[in-house]
Structure 1
Amino acid sequence: MPATLAHLLARPELGLRLLTSPGTGSLDRPIPWVHSSELADPTPFLSEGQVLLVTGTPDDVEPYVERLVAHGIAGLGFGTDVVRDGTPDALADACERHGLPLFEVPYRTPFIAITRFVADSVAADAYARSTWALRASRAISLAALRPDALGAVLAELARQIEHPVALVGAAGAVERAYPPSAVDGAARSSLAAAAEPLLRGGRRAGSTVEIGGESFALQTLGAAGRLRGVVAVGGGASLDQAAQQVVTGVVALAGLALEQSRATDAARSRLRTAVWRALLAGDRSLAVRVAEPVVGPLPEGSVRVALLAGDGVPAAADWLELHPETAPEFFARDGGDLVLLTDTATSADVTALVERFGLRGGVSGPASPLGLAAAVAQASAARDGATAELPLRGFDDLAAGGMLALLHTDDARAVAAATLEPLAADPALVAALRTWLDHNGVYDVAARELGIHRHTLRARVAEAERLLGRDLTPFAARADLYAALATL
């Protein structure tokens, strides 16, 4: 424990006497050092928190004391019977007014005795903190030998520094917190938000953030370009050098654990891809033999295939590996796609994955384990129909819309616009054509709905044929025009 003014005043061999009232300043403030100087302004040679010892003061003590207080001096000791008898009353009054503790040092007590007491306390405290750091590092190293090395290391760090510790994964969410009760839902959201720019930057970096009255120091884990997460350590700037050294060691251990996990995850990912391709090729027996020892049993019976795409696919795959409780029965990477086998068209887990990682995808209709190739084609078609407003489409919904539903693409709209461009100047002509086609080309019925004579409608259709440069008598021509109108 570092020395304080209270400790100095309590030492009978020093014989110090407090001259200001006990409530003046702080007697429990740690003292890093004691310095003596008879300069009129010693502040350029002093550091904040130090105690100053003097045997005399300038005649004008008011600005002298003001300078000491402004510089952050913790206390002032006046040595008596060296230059003068007793301590000047003016100095005691000024210290009382400005909140600077003042104590009297008797003639029999050399200044070096006070300095040595503080120096010994500083050395003892440094030794105690170094001993603590060695014990803490040893405990953390032993924790790294447990089955869940990463979790054990972070939990032991939290116990040693008596501050919460959390891990934000590469996906941007708080995956671990120790102790769990110390980081509530709001704090988890705030930590994730603070870690997000560090992860997005893609390089080694750190920052601090204040959350719920606790200062957290954030440090990225992993190498530049392939960050594995961010560790958030409570205590922030209040942690001393010994604690910071322990934290630095934990960051290195956590980074190593995550890198080892990366290698394991990469191998498991490649195995998942091999299993998926065996399933796709119809060799289910091989897929089952390869998958069961590592990724578990494959789904039985009817399944649906979900195909997800987007920049967030790698992060989404990592998330599924780390959170098997949220994963579908089977998933795998296939090129740039994430493939999932699910049992429903509107799986909440698949929807949550799409939203969390900004993906776009499609879900096939039900398929047997031997009909996965057709299911992939269905999922791909459904994904092509996904939009920003509806990022996950089901093939069932797509099929319910019929063939015309497939025309809602940018390419189809461009062709439709070019087809109908000659009619753009006459919206009434376009409306007449649409009504005529809706009634299967029957002029009488369509004319009655439009409120015009059938010969007028015939004339408008003829005008449309002239503008479009095509004969609308054949069914194929009418179907093509109807598709263009429906697309737009």
Structure 2
Amino acid sequence: MEPSAAPTLRTLLSHAELRLSLVTPEDALESDARDRGVLDTGVLDKEVQWVHNSDLVDPTPFLSDGLLLLTTGSQLGDHDERAAADYVARLVRRGVLALGFGSGVHRQGVPDELIAACTEIGLALFEVPYDIPFLAIARVHAGAIAAHAYARRTWALEAHRALAVAALRPRGLESALSELSRRLGCWVGLFDASGALAHQHPSSDSEQTDAVAGEVAALLGRGGSASRTVEDGTEAFTIFTLGRTGQLRGALAIAAAALDPETRAVVSSVIAMAGLALEQNEQLARARRRLRTQVLSTLLTDDPAPARRVLGSLPPAPVVVAVAETDRPGTVIDWWDRLDGGAFVAESPEVLVMCVGASQAGMLDRLAGRFALRIGVSDAVDYAAFSRAHAQALTALRRGGAGVTRYADATSGGVLDALDTEEARLLARSRLAPLHADDPATGADLARTLRVWLEHDAHSEHTAAALGIHRHTLRTRLAHAGTLLGTDLSSFPARAELWAALHAAGSGV
């Protein structure tokens, strides 16, 4: 639906009234120069920025890229192949697209040495008849530029009108993005704040969209408002962030590299529209998150009835409860909502809480990998045990490492492993402090003596042998330790408490 392309050398050659003739045939140029790796194919279809004429030996200081140069050849010597080759090489290095030779002014016809030089290096060369002034060529090209500019402005106005109409339809933002894709004639994708693809038109293969999503995620990760052009194999994409610096709401990706002013203006209007729509969506999302936090408080009472009345439904039991620490709870919740997998996700003051059907628990691994989260997961339970499952998930999170830690794995070491908390260590070390206070004076190493004694089931002879001391010395130490601790070590409860304290205090005790 875009207007015709900008004027090129091919369109200029097609003007019958100018009677321009290509001296270096396109097929011959491509086949001959491609073998030498010097021809930029499609030279006749490149946009011509302007038409200029000069008979200087070296006009390059006065030229710009993308020009079509006209000359009468007065600066070229007769049959001077070296001069012709050097002249053409200078033009190509400067970015001249094509050379027009005015025949009949100084030379009848185009010189053979100039044809050979242009063919060799891949510069298009055409002949201008004697009765066609250079000014006529410049005037025709200027008219083509003006017509193209008018067509572009007309296209932009129509595109703006069509986008405004599309925005009024249901799901207005998605309709506007699809309309933009049709107007540009290329793929358009909308990514959310997490870098996940939220909408695309037309549908594209996952390999392509995954490559673009990686670039989008990197751009969003920097947190600044920006645009960037990236290449993916043979295709190029332009990416625009949506939202303010520090509060990015997503990104818009377009399968196009160079955008002219009219296209950029149309895209800018869609960017503004998308930013506003996403900001409004964020406000609604914050309200929904507050509601879910309240629903979570009712679930923690082990009564799912109020939650079902508010939400309409919950994940089918049995369920697992998961908790995660994240500084981007809104982004994670949006990701879950987009999956529409029937999960319940809510924020609590310290963690993000998720409730999913036991059969869908594998999604938690995917979540952890995508957002680099630590997640604790409970055993499968019914809603009547939701609070217990929540406590299990917190324990798994506290004791787990990177990724997903399940409660069953976190507690596989036994009851004593549950003492591996800072509070338990502090209490245990305080309880055993009298032993350490006494050791420097006596050198008895009472804590180690007690540990070895308990490891040998309170068997005096085996313990004495392991410590390399006499059993009477061992009895003396045990009695002294009992006095310091204020406990009777002959009873099992005292020994059990001592063993737990030594375990919780750590290997350094």
Which interval holds the TM-score relative to the shorter structure?
A: 0.7 to 0.9
Q: 1:76-114 CA deviation, whole Å, 9 max, x = no partner?
A: 223344456555555444444443333332232122221
Is 2:283 the counterpart of 1:259?
no
Identity across matched positions, percent: 39
Deviation for aligned residue 1:16: 2.7
Read off the aligned partner of 2:228 and give its amino acid letter.
Answer: S
Deviation for aligned residue 1:400: 6.1
Q: What SS is found at the alignment partner of 2:225?
A: coil
Aligned-partner Cα distance in 1 for 2:264–2:444? 74
Deviation for aligned residue 1:204: 0.6
Is 2:240 the counterpart of 1:236?
no
Query: Aligned match of 1:387 in 398, 401, 426?
Result: 401
Q: Are the equivalent residues in 2 in contact too, given 1:345–1:365 (CA < 8 A)?
A: no
Aligned-partner Cα distance in 1 for 2:335–2:17? 65
Q: Taking structure 2 as the reference length, what is the TM-score of the superposition?
A: 0.79
Q: Are the equivalent residues in 2 in contact too, given 1:398–1:406 (CA < 8 A)?
A: no
Distance 1:350 1:100, change over 3 A: closer
Is 2:54 the counterpart of 1:54?
no
Read off the aligned partner of 2:470 and give its amino acid letter.
Answer: T
Partner residue in 2 for 1:354: 368
Aligned-partner Cα distance in 1 for 2:304–2:381? 14
Q: What SS is found at the alignment partner of 1:228?
A: strand
Is 2:48 the counterpart of 1:31?
yes
Is 2:336 the counterpart of 1:332?
no
Q: Which runs of structure 2 are paired with 1:314-333 in the superposition (5 Å)?
A: 314-325=330-341, 327-328=342-343, 330-333=344-347
Q: Are the equivalent residues in 2 in contact too, given 1:202–1:226 (CA < 8 A)?
A: yes
Q: Which runs of structure 2 are paired with 1:306-321 in the superposition (5 Å)?
A: 306-321=322-337
Runs (5+) with no aligned partner, structure 2: 30-38, 78-82
Distance 1:346 1:479, change over 3 A: farther
Distance 1:457 1:376, change over 3 A: farther
Aligned-partner Cα distance in 1 for 2:158–2:388? 61
Is 2:488 the counterpart of 1:473?
yes
Q: Are the equivalent residues in 2 in contact too, given 1:432–1:457 (CA < 8 A)?
A: no
Aligned-partner Cα distance in 1 for 2:317–2:103? 96
Name the count of aligned residue pairs.
474
Aligned-partner Cα distance in 2 for 1:75–1:27? 8
Partner residue in 2 for 1:218: 239
Distance 1:345 1:285, change over 3 A: closer
Aligned-partner Cα distance in 1 for 2:467–2:128? 116
Q: Is the deviation greater in 341-350 or in 478-487?
A: 341-350
Q: Are the equivalent residues in 1 in contact too, given 2:376–2:396 (CA < 8 A)?
A: yes
Is 2:17 the counterpart of 1:13?
yes
Aligned-partner Cα distance in 1 for 2:156–2:501? 75
Deviation for aligned residue 1:477: 4.6
Partner residue in 1 for 2:145: 122
Partner residue in 2 for 1:147: 170
Q: Is the deviation greater in 203-212 or in 413-422?
A: 413-422
Q: 1:229-287 CA deviation, whole Å, 9 max, x = no partner?
A: 122211223x4443333332322222222222112211211221222224445776554
Partner residue in 2 for 1:248: 268
Distance 1:274 1:447, change over 3 A: closer
Is 2:417 the counterpart of 1:405?
yes
Aligned-partner Cα distance in 1 for 2:268–2:18? 41
Distance 1:289 1:37, change over 3 A: same
Distance 1:379 1:370, change over 3 A: same
Read off the aligned partner of 2:74 and give its amino acid letter.
Answer: T
Partner residue in 2 for 1:183: 205
Distance 1:29 1:452, change over 3 A: closer
Deviation for aligned residue 1:144: 2.7
Q: Are the equivalent residues in 2 in contact too, given 1:304–1:345 (CA < 8 A)?
A: no
Distance 1:463 1:314, change over 3 A: farther
Read off the aligned partner of 1:473 and give its amino acid letter.
Answer: D
Q: Could you say what the CA RMSD is over the residues aligned between the two structures, in angstroms?
A: 3.8
Q: Which runs of structure 2 are paired with 1:93-132 in the superposition (5 Å)?
A: 93-132=116-155
Q: Are the equivalent residues in 2 in contact too, given 1:303–1:368 (CA < 8 A)?
A: yes
Read off the aligned partner of 1:52 and give its amino acid letter.
Answer: L
Aligned-partner Cα distance in 1 for 2:58–2:443? 92
Aligned-partner Cα distance in 1 for 2:457–2:359? 36
Deviation for aligned residue 1:467: 7.4
Distance 1:401 1:11, change over 3 A: closer
Partner residue in 1 for 2:61: 44
Distance 1:94 1:266, change over 3 A: same
